[in-house]
A and B are shown apart, each in its own frame.
Chain A
């Protein structure tokens, strides 16, 4: 059974300007001990999707579909059960983690917080100190940092602390929202190495959300590309990066050139226009205004995911077998 299964999840925000569909019918699977990358830019709905996994969307959002964590629907849980599930079964490393640490408390105490919330007696048994030390070691930090304050740590160290916090209650699933943005390329590599080794050693399921497709391709087993609230391509990471079937994925991959490739010298590749605002989507395929391969039918016919090769799927009319709609 997959550790995480999203079934036709849709999230709509109610705003002063009307209903804004941030996520529109997303279905994804994640097996334990594997990692899934979700790629997308602003307005793609990826962060909303991350929040939905633990039902952390704001009250003004309507969530439809099912989010199955080890078979249990998070959206249908009672609040008591949800609290028990949050962090103990699934945890999140938030975007902007560098600002998520409370500057007034020592690092060790903040890591211990989720442990104590789920097992208050651990504090009395003093075993929580041992847990904190173990966690710091597992993310490659010296144990003496437990008595430091957040401002004494560097960006990379803070990010590792956030990962340690996410591991605190030994969850089955970790969702990392842009874990390497704002980090230097070397620190980014360190953090990604850490995440992949954790997946291997602890057998957790990992969902990594990023706008950098190549980062996801090196870290994750599978990749799903989101655009305008939908998954527009999905498949094994290497395949999605190298032989992308959807024009958007190709453009996203081309935005970060292969160094050493002479074809990319003085030839930056990008798309005209901007990612669409979810409250203002064009008719037909949402990508058609920017698509280099758009046809007339794209202006009117919307497209869902369809099989596009070995274990790959893409939402484009140019692709695959129209009769076998994937999800």
Chain B
């Protein structure tokens, strides 16, 4: 995928934080990621893998310590005016719809907020009504004077999405958009995202831990572990035939998955202040532990040699010595 075609791109992006004890947490440690126009990409990983930090850096809420964020090929600038203009193009939908809405503002005010911030000229009421209709809250006038606490979880999330849509963004970043909603309500929100892509050509980056969600809505999927993307590619390819041992393990423990033997990894992901040497997954890797890597002759690399940043390619790629060997590509 060339830079010109990608709507939003991360190039060698790193974001670090100082921890209270003085260490450095490398939350995002070298990521290449691209979201094309009209594409839905799922960014998948467990908590602590850095996916939320990556999303926030792409949105300009965090400054990267290295690398760049490219919007339509141009690097993001961090002065107040550029950021404000950027916000019209890239919007965020947060996880908790209840917390995302100011309880003292009506639905109308919540949706119109973006327009007011950007001093929109023109019929504000019409735009608000249009946005509410688009997200399925019809007739929109009925919702204008409602308060968030009068709405259900699904409706609140729709209001948040309407608030994002009202600025006519090109890209939507959705951080766990359905995880705090009831199961039977998830479908309509996901359908909404698909409809927005179809009707408006919106690109969506969905950040989630839920592989089933990715299967439902994503064109491509990127799996993140400890600050790096370890596997990415078209959703069917990655989930039908995962190459990286981490993806395999993650997929295998999902109850709905039948085609893999459950591999429950021991322990929990280490925190980003202490990233293992060599392949960062090697301490927990079932392939290394079972001797598979030893047999293939890559065990030394797994433990000692670092892996390069996975490029933002359209094909199915994985950052693993074992799988690279098997694919016939030489390890670095």
Q: Given that A270-B188, A270-B191, A274-B185 are known contacts, is A186 also in contact with B215, CB under 8 Å in the complex?
A: no
Is B264 a contact of A271 with CB atoms below 8 Å? no
Nearest CB in chain A: distance from B182 CB, A = 4
Is A268 a contact of B262 with CB atoms below 8 Å? no
Is A255 a contact of B240 with CB atoms below 8 Å? no
Complex: chain A residue closest to B253, CB-CB: A189
Nearest CB in chain B: distance from A45 CB, A = 14
Q: Given that A256-B212, A265-B215, A266-B216 are known contacts, is A218 also in contact with B255, CB under 8 Å in the complex?
A: yes
> Does A156 interact with chain B (Cβ within 8 Å)?
yes
A274–B155 Cα gap in the complex (Å)?
Answer: 9
User: Which A residues are CB-close (under 8 A) to B194?
Assistant: 266, 268
> Does B258 interact with chain A (Cβ within 8 Å)?
yes
Partner of A268, one of B217, B240, B250: B217
> Does A325 interact with chain B (Cβ within 8 Å)?
no
Is B255 a contact of A270 with CB atoms below 8 Å? no
A154–B210 Cα gap in the complex (Å)?
Answer: 20
Query: With contacts A211-B183, A248-B184 known, what are 17 further pairs, Cβ within 8 A?
Result: A41-B184, A185-B210, A186-B264, A189-B262, A189-B264, A255-B184, A255-B187, A256-B212, A259-B215, A260-B215, A260-B240, A268-B187, A268-B217, A270-B185, A271-B187, A274-B152, A274-B154
> Does B190 interact with chain A (Cβ within 8 Å)?
yes
Q: Which 9 pairs show the lowest CB-CB distances between chains A and B?
A: A270-B187, A268-B190, A189-B253, A214-B255, A41-B182, A274-B152, A184-B46, A271-B184, A255-B183
Is A260 a contact of B255 with CB atoms below 8 Å? no
A-B contact pairs, 10 of them (CB 8 A): A259-B212, A259-B239, A260-B258, A265-B215, A266-B194, A268-B186, A268-B191, A270-B184, A270-B187, A274-B155
Q: Given that A185-B46, A267-B216 are known contacts, is A274 also in contact with B182, CB under 8 Å in the complex?
A: yes
A45–B194 Cα gap in the complex (Å)?
Answer: 32
Most buried by A among B183, B249, B254, B268: B183
Q: Given that A257-B216, A268-B217, A270-B191 are known contacts, is A186 also in contact with B183, CB under 8 Å in the complex?
A: no
Is A156 a contact of B268 with CB atoms below 8 Å? yes
Nearest CB in chain B: distance from A325 CB, A = 26
> Does A190 interact with chain B (Cβ within 8 Å)?
yes
User: Which A residues are CB-close (under 8 A) to B258?
Assistant: 258, 260
Is A270 a contact of B253 with CB atoms below 8 Å? no
Identify which of residues 209-235 in chain B touch chain A, using a CB-to-CB cut-off of 8 Å: 209-212, 215-217, 235
User: Which B residues are CB-close (under 8 A) to A41?
Assistant: 182-184
> Does B259 interact with chain A (Cβ within 8 Å)?
yes
A42–B257 Cα gap in the complex (Å)?
Answer: 26
User: Which B residues are CB-close (under 8 A) to A260?
Assistant: 215, 239-240, 257-259
Identify which of residues 246-301 in chain B touch chain A, using a CB-to-CB cut-off of 8 Å: 249-251, 253-259, 262, 264-265, 268
Which range holds the interface residue count of chain A? 35 or more
> Does A212 interact with chain B (Cβ within 8 Å)?
yes
Nearest CB in chain A: distance from B308 CB, A = 26
- Which A residues fall within an 8 A CB radius of B? 41-42, 154-156, 184-190, 193, 211-215, 217-218, 248, 251-252, 254-262, 264-272, 274-275, 290
> Does B65 interact with chain A (Cβ within 8 Å)?
no
User: Which B residues are CB-close (under 8 A) to A155?
Assistant: 47
Report whether over half of chain B's contact residues are helix, strand or loop; otherwise say mixed.
helix
Complex: chain A residue closest to B197, CB-CB: A266
Is B209 a contact of A184 with CB atoms below 8 Å? yes
User: Which B residues are CB-close (under 8 A) to A213?
Assistant: 183
Partner of B190, one of A214, A252, A262, A270: A270
A202–B153 Cα gap in the complex (Å)?
Answer: 40
Partner of B256, one of A184, A256, A268, A269: A256
Most buried by B among A155, A188, A260, A272: A260
Is B250 a contact of A255 with CB atoms below 8 Å? no
Is A215 a contact of B239 with CB atoms below 8 Å? no
Nearest CB in chain B: distance from A222 CB, A = 16
A124–B116 Cα gap in the complex (Å)?
Answer: 69
Is B217 a contact of A252 with CB atoms below 8 Å? no
Q: Given that A184-B209, A266-B216 are known contacts, is A257 also in contact with B256, CB under 8 Å in the complex?
A: yes
Q: Given that A185-B46, A265-B216 are known contacts, is A270 also in contact with B186, CB under 8 Å in the complex?
A: yes
Is B152 a contact of A259 with CB atoms below 8 Å? no
> Does B236 interact with chain A (Cβ within 8 Å)?
yes
Complex: chain A residue closest to B44, CB-CB: A185
